[in-house]
Structure 1
Amino acid sequence: MSTLKLAGLQDDTPVKMTIEVPADVHRDLVLYAEVLSADGERTYAAAQLIAPMLSRFMAADRSFITAKARQVVGRSSSGALAHPTSARGAG
């Protein structure tokens, strides 16, 4: 089993996005997918890694966590966010 920080990816309903990344980032994503796939449990494509990597990055970013907490505190009495900054659901 690999010791990579990105493991145990969950299936989720995706939202289609088109992005451009520098060639060196793409090469690293392809290599990361190959290493992660080497465990043999599942084969990953480079594009499948982008969302989990961003999610883990945001979860570890203390500034984002603090802003997210402020957002939760700012909910109106109806439960809607006072100033929604993300279309992503809680998770």
Structure 2
Amino acid sequence: MAGIKLSKLPDRTPVKLSITITPDLKRALDEYAEFYRTVYGQEEPVVELVPHMLAAFLAGDREFARIRHGRPKSA
């Protein structure tokens, strides 16, 4: 529809993903959740933090972003 500034919203349907992790990684994630609580004063379960952690990791990987968006590597 012409004249609207806001583009169509992306699909926001949640997708469930099950993974198996090592005990060491589970401890580290629990420690991170505790660190988060200390910093922000709000407790969030690991399962709520992990999607945001993964998104931040992927957003911060410049090489992956370059490949994902089809831009050639500059020399």
| TM class, shorter-length | 0.5 to 0.7
Whose RCO is larger (CA < 8 A, sep 6+)?
Answer: 1
Q: Give 1:14 deviation, angstroms.
A: 3.4
Cα distance in structure 1, aligned partners of 2:49 and 2:22: 15
The runs of at least 4 aligned residues of structure 1 exceeding 3 Å deviation read none
Structure 2: gaps (5+ residues): 1-11
Q: Give 1:13 deviation, angstroms.
A: 5.9
Structure 1: gaps (5+ residues): 1-11, 72-91
1:35-60 CA distances to partner (integer Å, 9 max, x unpaired)?
A: 111232x2111122211111111111
2:70 is equivalent to residue 61 of structure 1: no
Equivalent pairs: percent with the same residue? 34
Larger Rg: 2
Cα distance in structure 1, aligned partners of 2:65 and 2:29: 26
Aligned Cα root-mean-square deviation (Å): 2.0
Q: TM-score, normalised by structure 2?
A: 0.65
Counting matched residue pairs gives 59
SS for the counterpart of 1:15 is coil
* 2:31 matched residue in structure 1: 31
Flag the structure with higher helix content.
2
